[in-house]
Structure 1
Amino acid sequence: MRRILFFVGLVISLSSLYRNKYKLLNIFLSKKWLRRLSVAMIMRIPALREKMLFQALR
């Protein structure tokens, strides 16, 4: 019974997060230091970095 309640709670919270993903993203990226940190972390991934630089220099 406990597992079922946990699973139901997990599904409800994930669906709520998915429904409000853009609001949460805007709140997250409105802070300058969080925006800098996220860009720095993304630029460490080689495939994403190459794709972004290719689009910027095109």
Structure 2
Amino acid sequence: MLSEDLDAASAAYRVGYQDASYFNREYKSLFGIPPMRDVQRLRGETLALSGR
């Protein structure tokens, strides 16, 4: 999602989920936050590391 600028629904379908909301629930269960919030967090870390 981060490197290809995908939304959660597109990423879900690409990895084989038929139901984007199920993907979101599973992602949150595994990582503790919803996928798009995780992408936002990672983008922020990437910008901080690059000095922007």
TM-score with structure 2 setting the length: 0.30
Structure with the larger helix share: 1
Larger Rg: 1
TM-score of the pair, normalised by structure 1: 0.28
